[in-house]
């Protein structure tokens, strides 16, 4: 047993599949309440129209890239494809890498597009000093440039995380599966940080009104601050994101394993999404102080108000008090909680589609040979 978790055995699915059906079905009649507002059918249609074509596009791209990778017949696998499962034998590194890249890129783009305004509000709250007023216009400022970075960053993260996790699960005893998840999350985060940090720097400076476009931001940062300007706050970013990635994915994996043991079945999309939301919200709240310091270091530009992480922490504590370290905690928890729900829901659905396509192709090839 991977994980000892005392949970009641569900007699039915944790939640009705209608909860997240706007992301996966066009026929659902469910509504989604966001911050107390009933969004209704218009939001469902927007979500459906956006997420399904994106998923289909990435699945098609994956099939085009991998159609020639398998010349031999592949034994049909179970149709359930999950980020938490490492049961498929033999371990196929290339397939796992490609599927992780496609699923991660898809999930990252969907989450970033849907929740970007909340992230912008969070950034402006954290960047504000003293009694500064928050600007509520341009909440989608910098989205296009940010997606250009989020897509490869999410793809690299999941692409590295999946094969690393599966290899570590083979090495560690089952009772130490959490260590494998923590380690794989940290390794994936470290690899993705090389793309994430410049993207985050440009995004947050656009969100705070310093630049009007991503190309201008990159050009001016390089001209005034040099290449290191694109990696401003890198140490604080790693200090925040490596623990965040490791904790979030470990919580998600372990909660999911525990629930599967109790339910004695595979989880459905809403259940994956709810577990992802819980893991994201808890991790987001815990890492908020690190996120505040990371934001201050990234948006300071040439002002050089802070001379590193320790200087940043001391200055904030001295000038604004301990409460400043929790600035933006509400939007951050909301953003990451909802983001975790969408991310893991889309991730699992995309991996399921890839697995189904692969199984159908394998069966078709077997039939032709017979």
Q: Digits of tens for pLDDT over the chain (370 positions)? A: 444 444 444 444 433 333 333 333 333 333 344 344 444 444 444 444 544 544 554 454 445 444 444 443 333 333 333 344 444 455 677 777 888 888 888 888 888 888 888 888 887 887 777 666 777 888 887 788 778 888 888 899 999 998 999 999 999 888 899 999 999 999 999 999 999 889 888 888 887 778 878 888 888 899 988 888 899 878 877 887 888 999 999 999 999 999 999 999 988 889 999 999 999 999 999 989 988 888 888 787 766 778 878 888 999 999 889 999 998 898 889 888 999 999 999 888 888 888 888 888 878 777 777 6
In angstroms, the Cα distances linking 41 to 2, 32, 34 are 41, 9, 13
DSSP 1: -
The DSSP result for 326-349, as a single string, is: GTTHHHHHHHHHHHHHHHHHHHHH
In a domain, 352, yes or no: yes
In a domain, 23, yes or no: no
| Measured distance CA(103)–CA(59) in Å, rounded | 8
In a domain, 5, yes or no: no
In a domain, 96, yes or no: yes
Domain span at residue 95?
A: 30-67+78-362
Which tokens hold the place of 303? 């002002």
| Measured distance CA(238)–CA(236) in Å, rounded | 5
Q: Which residues contact 22 (CB under 8 A, 6 or more apart)?
A: 28, 30, 32, 43, 44, 45, 47, 48
Neighbours of 299 (CB within 10 A): 20
DSSP 134: P
DSSP 29: -
In a domain, 157, yes or no: yes
In a domain, 6, yes or no: no
In a domain, 187, yes or no: yes
Tell me the CATH number at 273: 1.50.40.10
In a domain, 276, yes or no: yes
Q: How many domains, the chain?
A: 1
């Amino acid at each position: 047993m991977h994980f000892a978790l005392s949970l009641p055995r569900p007699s039915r699915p944790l939640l009705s599949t209608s909860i997240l059906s706007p992301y996966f079905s066009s026929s659902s009649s469910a509504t989604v309440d966001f911050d107390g507002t009933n969004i209704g059918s218009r939001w469902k249609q927007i979500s459906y129209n956006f997420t399904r074509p994106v998923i289909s596009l990435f699945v098609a791209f994956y099939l085009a890239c991998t159609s020639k990778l398998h010349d031999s017949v592949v034994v049909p696998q179970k149709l359930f494809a999950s980020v938490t499962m490492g049961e498929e034998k033999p371990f196929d590194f290339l397939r796992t890498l490609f599927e992780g890249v496609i699923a991660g890129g898809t999930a990252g783009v969907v989450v970033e597009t849907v929740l970007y305004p909340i992230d912008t509000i969070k950034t402006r709250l954290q960047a504000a000093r003293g009694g500064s007023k928050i600007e509520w216009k341009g909440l989608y400022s910098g989205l296009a440039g940010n997606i250009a970075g989020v897509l490869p960053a999410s793809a690299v993260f999941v692409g590295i995380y999946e094969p690393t996790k599966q290899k570590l699960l083979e090495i560690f005893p089952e009772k130490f599966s959490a260590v494998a998840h923590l380690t794989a999350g940290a390794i994936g985060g470290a690899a993705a940080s090389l793309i994430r940090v410049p993207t985050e720097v440009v995004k947050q400076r656009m969100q705070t009104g310093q630049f009007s476009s991503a190309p201008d931001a990159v050009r001016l940062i390089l001209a005034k601050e040099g290449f290191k300007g694109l990696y401003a706050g890198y140490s604080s970013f790693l200090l925040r994101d490596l623990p965040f990635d490791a904790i979030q994915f470990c919580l998600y994996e372990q909660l999911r394993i525990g629930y599967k043991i109790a339910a004695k079945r595979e989880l459905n999309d809403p259940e994956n999404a709810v577990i992802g939301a819980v893991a994201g919200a808890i991790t987001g709240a815990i890492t908020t102080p690190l996120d505040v310091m990371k934001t201050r270091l990234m948006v300071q530009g040439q002002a050089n108000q802070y001379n590193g992480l320790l200087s940043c922490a001391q200055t904030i504590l001295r000038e604004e008090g301990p409460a400043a370290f929790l600035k933006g905690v509400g939007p951050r928890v909301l953003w990451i909680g909802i983001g975790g729900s969408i991310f893991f829901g889309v991730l699992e659905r995309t991996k399921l589609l890839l697995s189904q396509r692969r199984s159908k192709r394998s069966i078709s090839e077997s039939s032709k040979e017979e």
